[in-house]
Structure 1
């Protein structure tokens, strides 16, 4: 049950690019982590150049530019380092394939929590006591 926020910057960031980035992240989650294909909860936001709403630098020698995309994924804990690394690679590959976003501009963070930290509606903790995705 991941929850994904994608913030994209650039002149070409419209509904089509946002949709392509959302598909890229979702497909990577399905492939790399085995997330169910109908488990898609995303918030997609475009940021216009000139409004200065996103900041980035060349930290760790990665040159980022106005094509930057921030991907924040919240999910339940338990994935191995190898699976996380595979997820990062696949998101970068699919973001380039689907949206034309250069892999160097794909910045991903994962935040992990426990099953009881989720309510999927109706004021219930559906996963409390459950070990599913």
Structure 2
């Protein structure tokens, strides 16, 4: 169950929706998440009241079309799967939203099953649903 946050500079609601679809479709295709497993926060920054900062790090010539994609998911995917995910997100962001691949910045943060509560105050992915007191 990935949790995705997408921040895009000067993106309108239609572009944000397209970026969300691009990331979701890439996760379905490369990571194998279920189609209905979609939890996203989509944020557009107008450059005046909120903005994004970027540079040319590692020789990538980014511009105001920058899109930051932060994905949090349970650990266990190897480097090959992650590379395929990054590539597919960039491809679909261009196809769906017109975002140039050079402007797609993706991070993946991994955690453990017990780090998730999907509602009702329960750790649904934890091995034991019983509350455990930690000292």
TM-score by length of 2: 0.92
Aligned position for 2:4: 4
Aligned position for 1:17: 15
Aligned position for 1:29: 27
Aligned position for 2:80: 82
Deviation at 1:53, TM superposition (A): 2.0
Distance (Å, rounded) in 2 between the aligned partners of 1:105 and 1:49: 16
Aligned position for 2:53: 55
User: Which digits, 9 at most, give the CA deviation of each residue in 1:27-48, with x for residues without a partner?
Assistant: 0000000000000000000000
Distance (Å, rounded) in 2 between the aligned partners of 1:33 and 1:52: 32
Aligned position for 1:91: 89
RMSD: 1.1
Distance (Å, rounded) in 2 between the aligned partners of 1:108 and 1:93: 13
Distance (Å, rounded) in 1 between the aligned partners of 2:66 and 2:46: 12
Deviation at 1:50, TM superposition (A): 3.4
Deviation at 1:51, TM superposition (A): 3.9
Distance (Å, rounded) in 1 between the aligned partners of 2:96 and 2:52: 22
Distance (Å, rounded) in 1 between the aligned partners of 2:25 and 2:17: 12
Number of aligned pairs?
Answer: 128
Larger Rg over CA atoms: 2
Aligned position for 2:104: 106
Distance (Å, rounded) in 2 between the aligned partners of 1:81 and 1:51: 37
Unmatched tracts of structure 1, length 5 or more: none
Task: For residue 48 of structure 2, give the secondary structure of its aligned residue in structure 1.
Answer: coil
State how 1:66-77 maps to structure 2 within 5 Å. Answer: 66-77=64-75
